[in-house]
A and B are shown apart, each in its own frame.
Chain A
């Protein structure tokens, strides 16, 4: 996929994330479309494009609403790279369990990564009960939007191939 397509796509996703998704909050927890799209991109794009897309999305988030430049780039880049490396071609891409597991795992990873960065910046951790509540709600919300997007993306990919 061309870089400019990846950038335009990342801009659209980040814009939707910042302006639209806040109305779908449950107990102040918002679904993370940017994260979901990074996970889906690792499954439907080649490795280099997926990592590039992750970097573009992270950079946009850092510039437009992030607390420090590099935090989201780092998180998304590592996420995309590890998903590509660990899953490879051995993954059952037809199974719904694949996106569910990857999105859930990525949500936990992102939360822990941000907690780590926040600890170094502010010097305190978020309360445990609050953290568990947020992670559980966000896993549910991310899967609600992530699974249909994944199914749609995979079906389009197969249609193109055959």
Chain B
């Protein structure tokens, strides 16, 4: 049997380390198109992954009431407090709705059309998760065959989750907003204070951001949503403001935001291609 000398082994390791560092450096930002062998590998493994993930999730769902037994009291108290706030909001929303219906009629009368990109969303299921605890990343079962490309927005009923990092033929990797490199343009969800800003993950549990306007007023408990500027369409809820400060250098108000989505409990998501893709699509149609 052939036996390599320790010196050759060491050289192989050194060369491999250098090559891998270079490859990692080029691929750490995510690639627009996943190479065919990688896409194929994901395609082959996907059926096994789907079956295993679904079975595990089903068992986990059955056991959840037992696991959540101790947190029920706390959750109940929190829900009661939320109910009080929601009642007040409901009255306010009812008034706004009437106003909105009037505006809709006006829009129809003026023959004004708007693009509703959220209606183009594709439903997907989570079929795998990253084990490193370092990146909040997971795999979904849709890819380029459903029009999903890099930077497509991912959300669910609770709010914004993140963006597609890389996509294969029929699977994609999703990176959460708490880890995302890309910033999200936001707007306060209040008709009287329509202040815009930018929010992005800082690696921790909360997001950090700032307003464009130094006169912007934000309060703890304010809800923020995507403003429609950039790759994310308007109107997807992001989270609640948990801290407000002022940056001494820029004099701009800064905020910390707790995302609504619990990334560990996400099982089904909606994906929509980035706004740019829609623009291109619309141009092609013309």
Q: Which of A65-73, A93-101, A151-159 forms part of the interface with chain B?
A: A65-73
A65 and B129 in contact, given A23-B60, A70-B27 (Cβ under 8 angstroms): yes
Q: Quick one: which of A23, A74, A121, A138 contacts B20, CB cutoff 8 A?
A: A74
A125 and B129 in contact, given A63-B42, A64-B41, A73-B20 (Cβ under 8 angstroms): no
Contacting A at CB under 8 A, from B200-227, are 202-205
Q: Which residues of A contact B29 (CB under 8 A)?
A: 68, 121
User: A102 in the interface, Cβ–Cβ < 8 Å?
Assistant: no
Contacting B at CB under 8 A, from A31-70, are 31-34, 47-48, 51, 60-61, 63-70
Q: B7-38, CB under 8 A of A: which get 1 and which 0?
A: 00100010011001101111111100000001
Q: Which of B49-57, B74-82, B87-95, B248-256 forms part of the interface with chain A?
A: B49-57
User: A86 in the interface, Cβ–Cβ < 8 Å?
Assistant: no
User: Is the beta-carbon distance between A32 and B131 smaller than 8 angstroms?
Assistant: yes
Q: Which residues of B contact A127 (CB under 8 A)?
A: 202-204
Q: What separation, in Å, do the CA atoms of A56 and B31 have in the docked complex?
A: 21
A74 and B128 in contact, given A11-B45, A67-B135 (Cβ under 8 angstroms): no
User: A87 in the interface, Cβ–Cβ < 8 Å?
Assistant: no
Interface residues on A, range: 35 or more
User: Is the beta-carbon distance between B129 and A18 smaller than 8 angstroms?
Assistant: yes
Q: Quick one: which of B23, B38, B129, B133 contacts A70, CB cutoff 8 A?
A: B23
Known: A69-B38, A74-B24. 15 other contacts (CB 8 A): A15-B49, A19-B53, A23-B57, A29-B133, A63-B38, A63-B42, A67-B175, A68-B28, A68-B29, A68-B30, A111-B134, A115-B134, A118-B134, A126-B203, A126-B204
18 A-B contact pairs sorted by A residue (CB < 8 Å): A18-B53, A18-B128, A18-B131, A19-B52, A19-B129, A20-B52, A25-B264, A63-B38, A65-B173, A66-B130, A67-B137, A69-B23, A74-B17, A74-B20, A77-B16, A122-B179, A127-B204, A130-B204
B-to-A contact residues, CB < 8 Å: 4, 9, 13, 16-17, 20-21, 23-30, 38, 41-42, 45, 48-49, 52-53, 56-57, 59-60, 127-135, 137-139, 165, 173, 175, 179, 181, 202-205, 263-264
